[in-house]
Amino acid sequence: MVFKSIVLFCLFFFVEKTSQWKIRGTRAFKECLKSSKPLLVCTWHGSFIFPLFFLKNNHTEASVVSSTHKDSLVLGKVLQYYGFNLIKGSSTRGSTNVLKQMIKCFRKSGSVIAITNDGPKGPPKIAKQGSLNLAYKMDSEIIFISGKSSKFWKLPTWDSFVLPKPFSKNIIFIEKICFPTNINEQKVSSFVSQKMNSIQNEIDNSNL
């Protein structure tokens, strides 16, 4: 596992350092950090490389929800190499423990938690309820981070994971998601899913 995580870390490092990166929406992220509210960073599992690179360079104090599944342990090691704190568990394994750790983290002023909302095993681009309902109850700020690459590999996995190729051009998009007034708690996850997919469609159709 350690060897695999080192190889993956080196690959990520090479991709990041040889590629061009632009960021749209940094202001929204900074405004959320300035508030006293906790912040939940959302993304789809297949696009997590974009918030990973953004947070690595802008807020390594963030905590990242990481599954205890065997394959995810390798990525968890990479996240630790980057300096992130891990909240171990998922919607299928240790979900209660995850929510307890998130509550503890959210109670700290200015805390930031990043999560792949459709992880660890899908279905793709359908947000799980637990973390979003918690963020809603605790009046957390929510932002969506994703991106687009000029050249990339798309892996044959359930999430169609996208990995930018070395020497590619990339844009990271950041957008705040606001709940409508008096939204029903049962509709929180479906609302966020719709917003994330709508933003992702705009990203996919944008020019680099």
What's 178's DSSP letter?
-
Mean of per-residue pLDDT scores for the chain? 92
The pLDDT of 173-191, averaged and rounded, is 94
C-alpha to C-alpha distance for 154 and 160, rounded to whole angstroms: 6
92 has a pLDDT exceeding 70: no
Q: What share of the chain in percent tops pLDDT 90?
A: 78
Q: Domain count of the chain?
A: 1
Q: What is the pLDDT of residue 120?
A: 86
Q: What is the pLDDT of residue 61?
A: 86
The pLDDT of 81-102, averaged and rounded, is 83
Give the pLDDT confidence of 122-161 residue by residue, as tens digits: 999 999 999 999 999 999 999 999 999 999 999 999 999 9
Residue type, 184: N
CA separation (Å) from 134 to 37, 100, 110, 155? 13, 10, 16, 32
Does residue 182 come out as left (phi exceeding 0), alpha (psi in the -120 to 50 range) or beta? left
Q: Quick one: how far is CA 112 from the chain centroid?
A: 11
Domain CATH number, residue 103: 3.40.1130.10
Q: What is the pLDDT of residue 94?
A: 58
73 has a pLDDT exceeding 90: no
C-alpha to C-alpha distance for 107 and 138, rounded to whole angstroms: 9
The most confident of 130-139, 166-175, 176-185, by mean pLDDT? 166-175
C-alpha torsion sign, points 178, 181, 183, 185: positive
Domain containing residue 133: 2-204
Q: What is the pLDDT of residue 91?
A: 59
Contacts of 167 (CB under 8 A, 6+ apart): 18, 19, 151
The most confident of 66-75, 132-141, 167-176, 182-191, by mean pLDDT? 167-176
21 has a pLDDT exceeding 90: yes
The pLDDT of 186-198, averaged and rounded, is 96
